[in-house]
Chains A and B, each alone.
Chain A
Amino acid sequence: MSGETKKKLRVTTSSLAGCFGCHMSLLDIDERLVELLEHIELDASPLTDKKHVGPCDLGLVEGGLCNAENVRVLRELRKSCKILVALGACAVNGGLPAQRNHLDIRDCLQTVYLTGLGVHRGFIPNDPELPLPLAQVHPLHDVVKIDYFLPGCPPSADAIWQLLTDLIAGRTPQLGHGLIRYD
């Protein structure tokens, strides 16, 4: 390889209806983070606290879509990113939050905020700043085109590292046995 400095990939990460477990797993690549930072620079991400995403080469999205704000953010990410990755079980198939999908959202809200055990003088939050919940939780590919999927709850640090190193090298990610996990 020639001595010229390779341009760093601009990467954004986001957590929608997720638990940040996938972000924790990303940090779990440990000392490889140092090597990673030689190849990427972070744009908007919970790790940088930058709120609005600029043009990026790669977007890693954790979590599914449980409310209108998730959908807005995802569409913004899709517009900004050349490659968009669904990171983790919730992004891939809705995950744990999607287990409310066979319940009526009104019943859910009433149980949680009005009639549930230990609720006194409850009310269903209706502040206009709160994003409206969707009737069902959706995986990302229900709404935008997703380029690559990495399942797992969370995907292991090794699986994330494999995905990132493949993408940085310009290859299609190849995950063998032990790296593709759904649990």
Chain B
Amino acid sequence: MNDDRPRFTLDDQEVAFTPGQTILEAALAAGTYVPTLCHHPEFAPHGSCKVCTVRVNGRTQSSCTTPAHPGDVVELHSEELDDLRKSLVQLLFTEGNHFCPSCEQSGNCQLQAVGYELGVVSGHFNPLFPTRPVDASHPDVLLDLNRCILCELCVRASAQVDRKSVFALSGRGITKHLVVNAESGRLGDTDLAVEDKAMSVCPVGVILRKRRGFRVPIGERKYDRRPISEVALDEAEGERR
């Protein structure tokens, strides 16, 4: 096939892209997996988790927010970048309370799957064990803030798709946390419904449907079967069709 689209270099590979695509989108379309946690193809790039960080012409950038540009030299994997990416994921694990053996999202969790992909075998840092609430006030939904990684996907989905703005982030730095838009602060006092987009975008186990626990046994879930690097490429291809 004669592909006269513009190109950039991704590690040792030439990648053709459609103008307007970000580096991450072009890489995925070309069959190269880029680890990320806050990116979702249906939403505008967010650039907050930084796990997709690459070096573009020597400068570190989030590949999800940086448009591809002809002739760019993009470094995705190097010892330094891979280590940085690993450290970011380890920081997320140690800042929250991530106890996979007792989490309903285990096996479907992107944080966990990215950890597997990057070869993360420990938190490395001293865990903070923060005290965070669990909100079971909603009749159909459980909100477990112990696992929140502040990707804002639920915030974006609820505001942009559901038009309900049920969620928001509050505070700054280490005190930043997810809040619920109700005077009581309780999920039960919002109009969140199980059909909402905000219900299906959480990459970790914060927003969970009640009475659905362990319908699919541990070991048979999405990322138990195949690594996220394969699943993500298939999903990207599915979206293009």
- A139 touching B116 by the CB < 8 A rule? no
- B126 touching A142 by the CB < 8 A rule? yes
**Per DSSP, are chain A's interface residues mostly helix, strand or loop, or mixed?**
mixed
Interface check B35, CB cutoff 8 A? no
Which residues of chain A come closer than 8 Å to B131, judged between CB atoms? 102
- B122 touching A101 by the CB < 8 A rule? no
Residues 147-161 of A contacting B (Cβ, < 8 Å) = 148-151, 153
Interface check B70, CB cutoff 8 A? no
Kindly specify which of A33-41, A68-76, A91-99, A124-132 makes contact with the partner chain: A91-99
Kindly specify which of A10-18, A113-121, A174-182 makes contact with the partner chain: A174-182
Interface check B182, CB cutoff 8 A? no
- A149 touching B122 by the CB < 8 A rule? yes
Which residues of chain A come closer than 8 Å to B99, judged between CB atoms? 89, 93, 95-96, 98-99
Cα(A93)–Cα(B92), bound, Å: 13
Interface check A136, CB cutoff 8 A? yes
Interface check B123, CB cutoff 8 A? yes
Which residues of chain B come closer than 8 Å to A150, judged between CB atoms? 121
Cα(A12)–Cα(B164), bound, Å: 57
Interface check A86, CB cutoff 8 A? yes
- B100 touching A153 by the CB < 8 A rule? yes
Cα(A89)–Cα(B115), bound, Å: 14
Smallest Cβ-Cβ distance to B117: which chain A residue: A177
Interface check A183, CB cutoff 8 A? yes
Interface check A42, CB cutoff 8 A? no
Given contacts A102-B129, A183-B101, contact A92 B122 (CB under 8 A): yes
Kindly specify which of B102-110, B153-161, B194-202 makes contact with the partner chain: B102-110
Cα(A95)–Cα(B115), bound, Å: 17
Interface string of B106-146 (1 = CB under 8 A from A): 11000010011101111110110111100000000000000
Interface check B93, CB cutoff 8 A? yes
Given contacts A98-B99, A102-B129, A102-B131, contact A182 B123 (CB under 8 A): no
Contact surface of B with A, Cβ cutoff 8 Å = 93, 97-103, 106-107, 112, 115-117, 119-124, 126-127, 129-132, 218, 226-227
Given contacts A93-B122, A102-B97, 10 further A-B contacts (CB under 8 A): A92-B122, A141-B122, A148-B121, A177-B116, A177-B226, A177-B227, A180-B116, A182-B100, A182-B115, A182-B116
